């Protein structure tokens, strides 16, 4: 009954950054809804592990390894998913990393650090969306793109200029894509979560900082991978068939408050591509 309600059974979904954390939660949510899932991650072992979990839920899966900051790699990823699982109906741009925010004020940010955040969070979303739109057959076959932005792209916080700017640009790109692709019946929406429980956050922040973030959220918890997956699932499903160009806050009410929980980077941390 749930699969009929969502309209995702038998569809094909490609999730980037799906090897751990929120991306894994998204991939498993679609699998439970009956969709075949292409699991893309920069690390092949992580992609294979999540693909195995997807198959255990009774649907087809494909593990892919690609650097989605590279245009050629992105085209190959789309081609491989299509060849193995069929036309990709839903693209979820989940690649990014909370650790790509700056550990200090704008006056101390080097250009390389800035560019890393832009490439990691914005360039990847643009390239994947472009490649998906170029090959999707619409308008006779509905499609959907769901981008994962961040609370930091909606609300400014000190020390997060590169990451926040990149995620704000993802939100604007979402709206532009929604307008351009609507005639082809491809809906484009965005989810903006607060900190997501998982290895990326624990690598970027101390335990006390994470607890401070948790305390600043009205619902009293960080965003779980399962909560993120359910939100993305809803936007990609039949339930949101007349929704496009929207930003859904998946933040436990954090955007409704004036609280700002600082998340300093751990000593020696460097931003990594979360695929």
Catalytic residue ranges? 163
Which of 172, 176, 177, 170 shows the shortest CA–CA distance to 143?
A: 177
Whether the Cβ atoms of residue 238 and residue 6 lie closer than 8 Å to each other: yes
Which of 83, 80, 85 shows the shortest CA–CA distance to 65?
A: 80
Whether the Cβ atoms of residue 38 and residue 82 lie closer than 8 Å to each other: no
The 3-state DSSP class for residue 77 equals helix
Helices (H), the chain: 2-6, 21-32, 44-56, 71-85, 111-118, 124-135, 161-181, 199-204, 207-215, 225-236
The CA distance from 26 to 1, in Å, is 20
- Tokens representing 86 are 């069929």
Which of 272, 251, 189, 229 shows the shortest CA–CA distance to 22?
A: 229
Whether the Cβ atoms of residue 38 and residue 62 lie closer than 8 Å to each other: yes
Alpha-carbon torsion (101, 102, 107, 111), positive or negative: negative
| 184 DSSP assignment | G
């Amino acid at each position: 009954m749930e699969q009929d309600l969502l309209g995702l059974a038998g569809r094909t979904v490609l999730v980037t950054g799906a090897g751990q954390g929120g991306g894994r939660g998204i991939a498993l949510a679609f699998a439970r809804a009956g969709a075949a899932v292409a699991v893309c991650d920069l690390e092949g072992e992580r992609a294979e592990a999540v693909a195995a979990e997807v198959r255990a839920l009774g649907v087809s899966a494909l593990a892919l390894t690609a650097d989605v900051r590279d245009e050629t790699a992105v085209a190959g990823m789309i081609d491989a998913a299509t060849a193995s699982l069929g036309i990709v109906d839903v693209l979820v741009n989940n690649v990014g990393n909370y650790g790509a925010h700056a550990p200090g004020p704008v006056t101390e940010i080097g250009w390389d650090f800035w560019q890393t955040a832009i490439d990691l969070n914005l360039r990847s979303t643009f390239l994947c969306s472009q490649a998906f739109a170029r090959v999707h057959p619409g308008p006779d076959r509905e499609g959907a793109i769901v981008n994962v932005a961040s609370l930091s792209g909606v609300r400014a916080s000190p020390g997060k200029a590169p990451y926040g700017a990149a995620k704000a640009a993802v939100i604007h790109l979402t709206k532009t894509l929604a307008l351009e692709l609507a005639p082809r019946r491809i809906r484009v929406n965005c989810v903006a979560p607060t900190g997501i429980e998982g290895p990326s956050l624990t690598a970027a922040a101390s335990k006390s900082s994470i607890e401070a973030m948790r305390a600043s959220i009205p619902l009293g918890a960080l965003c779980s991978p399962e909560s993120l997956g359910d939100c993305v699932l809803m936007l990609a499903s039949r339930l949101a068939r007349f929704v496009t160009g929207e930003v859904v806050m998946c933040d436990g009410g954090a955007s409704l408050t004036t609280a700002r929980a600082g998340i300093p980077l751990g000593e020696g941390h460097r931003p990594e591509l979360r695929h």
